[in-house]
């Protein structure tokens, strides 16, 4: 009987946890060790400062669905949304229905469910998970990786396969950049954001936001607010703005924050309490780092996935979906090459790089910021739906519908919409 390969996964976010599910379901071929720098979410409530809403579409849901019972467990703690309500100043709200429902959840809730399901299904002789551990060094020649715990304890362990699922600032990827000639571009997008949470219902004022729609506001200065329904009649969301033009700059009291939301985002402002406004005021500003690499592997034993490989702007909600799709595609390549990682890794890079690079363009340039192009965007969206309904074989829907309602490859979506992407890109030049 063959000895199980030791797969070390750095990062216990959605991608790392789903990969552990996939590897362990391959029978006795693998034992998995997971290392995460953050605390164990099962030992207490995870920091709300770290969380944000996630909308899972067909790409992400297909990857989750491959593990029996997993989608049902996530859906039980999520909300299905059937579209988006768009709010703009001096305009009536516009409802954009979706062909397929979107599974809306919270990042921390998703992590907790994936982790709980993983530990319930596999015993400690095949699965080891250690939190509060930071990766400090990788030795690709000796195939060892070193860690430091939050108690400053240092230790080193060996691996057969090392997978970096450790986010946009991945230590695994940085080791490869510094030591193997991996080419990687990193940029902060112009936007910054603050996360927030409000009740979906204000019974005293007789107000409520639709429970099955994502709510999105865009101001003339491109400040945006996105609120996603969550279980328990909550809305979890983000206030997005230019990093050099924070609309809350200079505010020192929750009353000022509440007045700002009541003026700029009336429905949200009427739902927000003074306590919730105070939380927004105290919450730190976050930035998004994008990552673009020339490959996703090194040799026959190191791989990096998800944000570590291709972090993108969250503007079209594909960060988590593309990370989960990485796992689905990796599993197919493992089947094709019978778990021979010397063939699997270069093939995965070759297959996934074009889609990752295409996704960056789609994330940066699908939605315009120019008023005239915003009007054209909605016209193209409606026209695309109409023509696709009339001529389903000949006409494809517009870029957003292809991304959100299908699992067509990102590179094919970009090819079909290259003219529009170029137009938006020129408008931002």
Structural domains of the chain in order of their starting residue, each with its CATH number: 5-79+107-186+290-363 (3.50.50.60), 86-102+189-287 (3.30.9.10), 369-428 (no CATH)
| Eight-class DSSP state of 38 | S
Strand pairing class (207-208; 201-202): antiparallel
What's the token pair of residue 71? 């989608």
Q: How many CA atoms lie within 13 A of 122 on its CB side?
A: 26
**Per-residue confidence (pLDDT) for residue 50, from 0 to 100:** 57
Strand pairing class (302-304; 161-164): parallel
Segment 80-104 mean pLDDT? 89
pLDDT interval class at 134 (50, 70, 90) = very high
What's the token pair of residue 270? 């009427």
From edge to edge, which strands make up the β-sheet containing 286-293?
A: 53-56, 94-106, 79-87, 214-218, 224-230, 234-242, 184-199, 286-293
What does the angle CA 316 – CA 403 – CA 429 come to, to the nearest 5 degrees?
50
- Report the candidate in 268, 32, 221, 230 with the shortest Cα–Cα distance to residue 127: 32
pLDDT interval class at 116 (50, 70, 90) = very high
**Per-residue confidence (pLDDT) for residue 47, from 0 to 100:** 44
Neighbour count for residue 321 (Cβ, 10 Å): 25
Segment 297-310 mean pLDDT? 96
Segment 307-331 mean pLDDT? 95
Answer yes or no: is pLDDT of 329 > 50: yes
Cα gap 292→184, rounded to integer Å: 6
pLDDT interval class at 96 (50, 70, 90) = confident
Cα gap 128→12, rounded to integer Å: 12
Query: pLDDT per residue over 340-391, tens digit each?
Result: 999 999 999 999 999 999 999 999 999 887 878 888 888 898 888 888 889 9
- For residues 21 and 71, is the Cβ–Cβ distance under 8 A? no
**Per-residue confidence (pLDDT) for residue 2, from 0 to 100:** 67
What's the chain's average pLDDT?
Answer: 92
**Per-residue confidence (pLDDT) for residue 48, from 0 to 100:** 45
Q: How many CA atoms lie within 13 A of 402 on its CB side?
A: 23
- For residues 84 and 105, is the Cβ–Cβ distance under 8 A? no
What separation in angstroms does the CA of 173 have from each of 29, 329, 344?
26, 20, 18
**Per-residue confidence (pLDDT) for residue 221, from 0 to 100:** 76
**Per-residue confidence (pLDDT) for residue 370, from 0 to 100:** 80
Beta bridge partners of 201: 208
The DSSP-derived string for 180-236 is H---EEEEEEEEEEEEEEEESEETTTTEE--TTSEEEEE-TTS-EEEEEEETTTEEE
| Residue with token string 């074009």 | 354
- Report the candidate in 19, 18, 56, 5 with the shortest Cα–Cα distance to residue 317: 56
Segment 394-401 mean pLDDT? 88
Query: pLDDT per residue over 38-54, tens digit each?
Result: 998 877 654 444 578 89
Q: Which of 179-193, 279-293, 314-328, 387-401 has the lowest mean pLDDT?
A: 387-401
**Per-residue confidence (pLDDT) for residue 44, from 0 to 100:** 67
Answer yes or no: is pLDDT of 225 > 90: yes
What separation in angstroms does the CA of 355 have from each of 293, 325, 403?
12, 11, 12
**Per-residue confidence (pLDDT) for residue 91, from 0 to 100:** 80
pLDDT interval class at 17 (50, 70, 90) = very high
């Amino acid at each position: 009987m063959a000895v199980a390969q030791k797969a070390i996964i750095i990062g216990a976010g959605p991608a790392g946890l789903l990969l552990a599910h996939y590897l362990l379901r391959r029978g006795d071929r693998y034992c998995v060790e997971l290392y995460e720098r953050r605390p164990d979410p099962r030992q207490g409530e995870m920091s709300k400062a770290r969380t944000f809403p996630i909308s899972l579409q067909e790409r992400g849901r297909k990857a989750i669905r491959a593990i029996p019972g997993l989608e049902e467990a996530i859906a039980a703690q999520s909300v299905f949304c059937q579209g988006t309500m768009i709010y703009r100043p001096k305009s009536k709200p516009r409802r954009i229905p979706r062909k397929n429902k979107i599974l809306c959840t919270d990042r921390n809730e998703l992590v907790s469910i994936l982790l709980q399901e993983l530990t319930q299904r596999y015993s400690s002789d095949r699965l080891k998970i250690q939190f509060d551990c930071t990766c400090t060094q990788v030795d690709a020649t000796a195939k060892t990786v070193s860690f430091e715990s939050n108690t400053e304890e240092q230790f080193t362990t060996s691996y057969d396969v090392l997978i970096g699922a450790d986010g946009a600032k991945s230590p695994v990827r940085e080791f490869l950049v510094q030591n193997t000639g991996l080419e990687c571009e990193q940029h902060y997008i112009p936007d910054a954001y603050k996360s927030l949470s409000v009740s979906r219902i204000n019974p005293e004022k007789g107000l409520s936001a639709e429970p099955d729609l994502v709510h999105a506001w865009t101001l003339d200065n491109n400040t945006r607010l996105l609120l996603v329904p969550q279980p328990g009649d909550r809305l979890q969301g983000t206030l997005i703005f230019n990093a050099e033009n924070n609309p809350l700059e200079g505010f020192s009291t929750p009353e000022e924050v509440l007045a700002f939301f009541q003026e700029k985002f009336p429905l949200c402002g009427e739902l927000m309490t003074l306590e919730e406004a105070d939380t927004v005021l105290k919450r730190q500003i976050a930035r998004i780092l994008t990552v673009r690499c020339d490959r996703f592997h090194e040799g026959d034993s190191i791989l990096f996935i998800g944000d570590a490989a291709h972090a993108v702007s969250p503007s079209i909600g594909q960060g988590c979906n593309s990370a989960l799709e990485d796992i689905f595609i990796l599993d197919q390549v493992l089947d094709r090459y019978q778990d021979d990682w010397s063939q699997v890794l270069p093939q995965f890079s070759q297959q996934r790089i074009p889609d990752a690079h295409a996704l960056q363009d789609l994330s940066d340039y699908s939605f315009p910021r120019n008023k005239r192009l915003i009007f054209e965007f909605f016209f193209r969206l409606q026209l695309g739906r109409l023509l696709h309904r009339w001529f389903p074989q000949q006409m494809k829907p517009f870029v957003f519908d292809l991304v959100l309602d299908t699992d067509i490859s990102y590179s094919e979506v970009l090819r079909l919409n290259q003219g529009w992407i170029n137009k938006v890109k020129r408008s931002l030049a």
